[in-house]
Each structure stands twice: as C-alpha cells, then as structure tokens.
Structure 1
Amino acid sequence: MNQSLLPVSSFRAAVGVQKPYDLVEAAGTLVAVSRRGAGTPVLCLHATAHGGRDFENLAEVLVPQGFEVVCVDWPGHGASPTDASREPASAKRYAVVLLALLPLLFGKAKPIIIGNSIGGAAALIAGHDQPEAMSALVLCNPGGLAPLDPVAARVIKLLVAFFNAGARGASWFPKAFELYYRLVLSGPAAHAQRARIVAAGPEMAPVLAQAWHSFGQVDADLAERAQALNLPVLFAWAKSDQIVAWSRSKRAAEKVPHARVEFFRGNHAAFLEDPQAFQSAFLRFVRNLHLQ
C-alpha cells in the first residue's frame, strides 16, 4: 500500500509490541503484529494509548504451555503508523481492522481473543458480526456495555476536553495525565508499563480524544450486540475501575449468553494488575473450551 511510514517516537514504541514484529496491511492501514510460540492461537487487543507490550508477561506464561500469543498495536499506537485511511480511533474502526486481520494472521484457525477496554469493544463487535472467525472472547473491562445516559455524557465530555487540551500541548497535561493513570492502572505488576504509557501520553492525547468522542456516539452502545453473542465469553473484570465500572456494565454483561464473570484486583486491566489470578482464570476457561 502507498503509506508514508513516519518515524515512531521512542516513547510510543516502548509501549507497543517489541521486535521482532511485522507490519501487516489490513483495512487500508498498517498494524504492527508480534507472534510468539506455537499452538492454540490467542490474539491480544489493547486499550487506547496502550500497546501490545501490555501482554508480554502473559505471553511468557502461555507460550511454554502450548499457545501462540499474537499481539497487535492498533493504528497510531506502539510500532504501528498513523492510520492511513485517516479514520479516527473508535471501537467500530478497530473492529473493521480486526476482522480484516483475522484471515491474514490465522487462515481458517479460530483464535481466542483477549480484548481490553476499546480492544474488548472491538472484539465484541467482531464476535457479533463474525463469530465463526474465533473460538471465544475474553473481555477485560470492555467499553460499550454501560448505558449512554447523562452521567456517561458528562464523563465523556470532560475526558474529551481533557485529552484535547493535551493534544493542544497544555503545559499541565503531562502531570495531570500521570495522576489520571493512577486511576487506570494500579499494583506493582503494572508499574513498568504504566510508566511507559504515561511517558507517551502527550503524544497519544489526540487519539485518546478521538476514542472518547466515539464512546459518546449512539453506535457505541453495544448492549444489544453483546446479548446476541454466540460465543463462549469470559468477562475478566478489574473490580476497582472508576471509569468502566462493573456497576454500570453489569446489567448488559449479565445478559450475555454463554458468559461467565470473574473479578480481579486492579482498576482496568486484570492481566496487567493481577497477572497470576488472571492467568489461572484464563487457563481454566480454555480447558473448559476443550481446545487443548
């Protein structure tokens, strides 16, 4: 494809997949993809302003146990260039990228998809639209399940304004973003990746503003799609999340057929914040799928 590959900053690159990785063309853009191991395929999808490196410790555990762990940096994240299609960040856009990637990465194989936040929302959309392309979903504090009520509208408006200020280069934004990320990731196991995300925060502010704007749109409500899922689903919920709260997502999540819910320590990403408990829960879930 004809896409100018602008240099990726060291801060952004540190958050994403690490070498070796490939740049794969999908849905009119390029995404960085790393693959480790062989066996049951697991595709890992990160939150906005995060990257595939979120899952490196999970890969260390899963690869020796017969899994192939595949991690993707969303467009404009990590090692991936800015989206050549100029589509703004949204779960809907990322679901299109995901569905284009699946046959390229796996052929007819059906991966288990782990999706966090916007990655979970994208996986949910893809699982609804093409359930035959995957074997199961592990949704970690996914967006799209809480009602788009006045409370949500106020929070979204505030966060869009916050990230737009960062995109304009507000002098106070880096420190404020660091404080904000104490609400997003907690616990010693997440500290290293949180520091990388914070360092890249000013650069990622425009993408965060786009994503949060998208969360306020009518098509961001995924409750009906979730209730129509025809796949095994594990909700792995970091129970202290102040933004994607279980209390606001519970009503939709509990109506998802073939789903189970487990709770973990942490604020937004159980696999980062409570890794051992998440790893155990994931392996139990896979054993019940009879894939290994």
Structure 2
Amino acid sequence: MSSNEAIPKITSRSVTVGKRQIFINELGQGYPLLMLHGGGAGASGLSNYSKNIEALAKHFRVLVADMPGYGKSTKGVNRDDPFGDLASAMLGLLDALDIKRAHVVGNSLGGACALRMALDAPKRVSALVLMGPGGINTTRSLPTPGLNQLLNYYSGEGPTLEKITRFIREYLVYDGSQVSDAMIEERFRSSIDPEVVAAPPLRRPKGLKAALRMDFTRDARLAQCQVPTLVLWGSADKVNRPSGGEALRKRMPNCDLYLFNKTGHWVQWERAAEFNAVTTGFLMNRVPA
C-alpha cells in the first residue's frame, strides 16, 4: 500500500500552522488520534501507517500528519532543537484544528515528537503510544549501525536507490523480503525532493547542547510525566536500541512496555494486526470521560 488510493474514504488537505503548511490525512470519527511517522529518508504519514489507519479509524478520528520536513508539508526543521520544533508544529496543528486534547501515536522520530509534546504540554496529550522512539539514551552510547545509515543518507555521494534499499531491507525491518520494490522506489522518489536534499530534516545534533536536549533520559520532566504511555519495541530493532524501552518504563510513572520478538524498527508495519489490537485496546481505555 503506497498511497491513499488504497484507503478510498480518506480525506487529505494542508493546514496552515504559523508559517508552515502541514499536510494531513483524516479518516474516522470520534476521539482524535494524531499519528506521527518516523524520520527515515522519504518517510510520510501514509506510507508509515498504511496497515493501521483503517483499523484505528473504526474507533477514532485518525489524523495522519506529514511532519515538517517530510511528505507534502513545509520543509526545514530547527537544528538547534529539532524535537521541540516538531512538537511545537504538531501542537500548533491541534490548535489549528480546534482540538484541545488528543491521543498521540509516534514511531521513531514521530515517537520523539510525541514524547516531547507530552513533556511540553501534558494537558494536551491524553495518552501516548511510542514505537521504538528516538531520543532515548542517545548521549549514553554510540549510534547504532542503523541510525548511522539513516543519518549518513544525504552525505557522501548523496541519496541513492542502493542506499535507501539497504537501509530499509537490512536495518528498518526484521525480514526485508516483505518490503516491496514499489514501496522502496516511492520512498526514494520522496527522498530526492530538491527541498529535502537542500535541508535534510534528520541530521546529527548541532553541538553538545542540542545533543543533550535530544536525549529524553536527561530531561527531569520525564519522571513527572503522568501521561499514560504504551511503549512498543521490536527486539531486533537495529535503529533504536530495544533497551530504550526499559529505560522509559523505569523513568515514566505510567508506562507499559511490550517487546515484539523477531521484529525490527517498524512494529506497526511488521506486526500490524497485533499493533492495531493492542493500540486500540490501550487507547480506548484512556479516552477522557
């Protein structure tokens, strides 16, 4: 599934948030659920959640955004505080949609954005589901091989089909044979958008201060965050270390942790049926009265 053609009832539009245009896809009715994609080259909301939108939209008003720097949204992210910039944009999106409070689901970079939203504006986030989120213990150990692949995509000879194929099939998922050539080619085309090449949205931190700000385990607010949180992590994740799940569980007072065996960085895609079931159950039980 590579576009909203496979989800015919979905509606899509751009929303003005400050000086940015944020592209969103919407399906379903009920309590709002904002879904935030990962930060891999060529990522977008629909490609990240193609196996989940319809299932979750049976219970929620599902809003799938292209975060700044990705898809059809305005390009460019503040390198001094990328997680904060993304979180501010997504909170601004909720404001623009007149949504006071929402559940937030985030994968990888989207998980980091979701968690930062909960720290910056806890009253706006009623529950979190985080899949292999970024920003956990990042200053306490060297980057993983998968994260290095991701961060080096635009360096050297620049983006190539070979580089993105290797990242997706060898590092993103446990079983690369499950990823179609068409999905990889679509991601590659998105990754070579001239605006993205000129200002890649995911880069190495700009200095020590930015690096420390991007490690949630160094943020004292984490231990005070009361937002109900479900962390889902593939035990074979080669991008963000699965040990990050236990780090969050220990620090956050209302955090549950599920580990998925023989699963990589893309839990919501690799284990879609189980993801849809556990996410629905967790979030349905946490809709505010």
TM-score under structure 2 length normalisation: 0.81
Q: Distance in 2 between matches of 1:155 and 1:71?
A: 25
Could you tell me the percent identity over the aligned residues? Answer: 22
Other-structure match for 2:250: 254
> Residue by residue, what CA displacement relative to the aligned partner does 1:105-138 show, whole Å, maximum 9, x if unpaired?
2433x21100111111111111011111121010
Q: CA deviation at 1:250?
A: 2.7
Q: CA deviation at 1:163?
A: 2.6
> Residue by residue, what CA displacement relative to the aligned partner does 1:6-33 show, whole Å, maximum 9, x if unpaired?
xxxxxx988xx99731111114211101
Q: Distance in 2 between matches of 1:256 and 1:194?
A: 36
Q: CA deviation at 1:207?
A: 5.3
Match for residue 131 of structure 1 among 119, 122, 140: 122
- Structure 2 gaps of 5+ residues are none
Matched, 1:68 2:61: yes
CA 211–51 in structure 1, closer or farther in 2 if over 3 Å, else same: same
Q: Distance in 1 between matches of 2:228 and 2:85?
A: 24
Matched, 1:273 2:263: no
Q: Distance in 2 between matches of 1:107 and 1:287?
A: 18
Pairing of 1:92-107 with structure 2 (within 5 A): 92-107=84-99
Contact persistence 2:15–2:21 (CA under 8 A): yes
Q: CA deviation at 1:35?
A: 1.1
Other-structure match for 2:173: 185
Contact persistence 2:161–2:185 (CA under 8 A): no
Match for residue 148 of structure 1 among 118, 139, 158: 139
Contact persistence 1:189–1:275 (CA under 8 A): no
Other-structure match for 1:24: 15
Matched, 1:234 2:230: yes
Amino acid aligned to 1:126? M
Other-structure match for 1:197: 187
Contact persistence 2:144–2:239 (CA under 8 A): no
- Structure 1 gaps of 5+ residues are 1-11
What secondary structure sits across from 1:271 in the alignment?
Answer: helix
TM-score under structure 1 length normalisation: 0.80
Q: Distance in 1 between matches of 2:144 and 2:237?
A: 18
Q: Distance in 2 between matches of 1:141 and 1:288?
A: 22
| Number of residue pairs aligned between Structure 1 and Structure 2 | 271
> Residue by residue, what CA displacement relative to the aligned partner does 1:24-61 show, whole Å, maximum 9, x if unpaired?
11142111011111112111000113111122321211
> Residue by residue, what CA displacement relative to the aligned partner does 1:235-291 show, whole Å, maximum 9, x if unpaired?
011221112011255324432110101122521121111100101111221243255
